[in-house]
Amino acid sequence: MPISASQVKELRERTGVGMMECKSALEQAGGSLVEAEKILRKKGLAAAQRKASRATTEGSVGAYIHAGGKIGVLVEMNCETDFVARTPQFQQLLKDISMHIAAANPRFVSREEVTSDLIEAEREIYREQAAASGKPPQVVEKIVDGKLAKFYEEFCLLEQPFIKDPEITIGELVSQHVARIGENIRIRRFVRFRLGDGLEKPPSE
């Protein structure tokens, strides 16, 4: 079916991908914007995977203050060149991720940062909960695996649904930008401050 300029324009606005790639994806998807977006997303993930081994020695530190000064976030995000680090696209991504961290409060960048001791402790809790419900052992382990996947989704930044677009994860958001910008991008570390955290409360009178 013929692809209209308005369809290409809308897909480009949704994804930020070039016009020719948008037109090609729409043709593959038979004119469906939803399917074309999925095609572009898969291509973006593939492109990001090819670039994942590249060194990221440049980048930028982003800061975000939220809730009237009650929450603050610092994020270090790396890329391959200083030129890309200064582009509006990179800086906007850094800002979006900082805002997301303020709202979603992740504990780790990725599941690789979660210690084996913590994973085993969580598994034991889930295992006891499932066993207490009378489930057979083989079902218990499936339940444990499912709950652990939810743990990663809740606490690992790259696996959290993006607050501005819950249809994608933060990891997919980064991958989309890798495909658009053409350089590897890595969220190296972050810290989130909330007013009063870690302070001892005065004794009550």
Tens of pLDDT, residue by residue over 85-133, are 999 999 999 999 999 999 999 999 999 999 999 999 999 999 888 888 8
What span, in angstroms and rounded, lies between the C-alpha atoms of 185 and 79?
5
> Residues 150-188: pLDDT tens digits?
999 999 999 999 999 998 899 989 988 888 888 889 999
Sequence letter at residue 49? Q
Q: Which of 32-36, 88-92, 133-137 is predicted least confidently?
A: 133-137
Both tokens of 17, joined, read: 């991908």
**pLDDT value of position 17:** 66
Q: Are 51 and 173 in contact (CB under 8 A)?
A: no
Residue 202 has pLDDT above 60, yes or no: no
**pLDDT (0 to 100) of residue 16:** 63
Nearest to 180 by CA among 23, 34, 48, 53: 48
pLDDT of residue 205: 43
Taking all residues of the chain, what is their mean pLDDT, rounded to a whole number? 87
pLDDT of the residue at 172: 86
Report the share of the chain in percent with pLDDT over 90.
48
Domains of the chain are 5-51 (1.10.8.10), 58-110+156-194 (3.30.479.20), 115-154 (1.10.286)
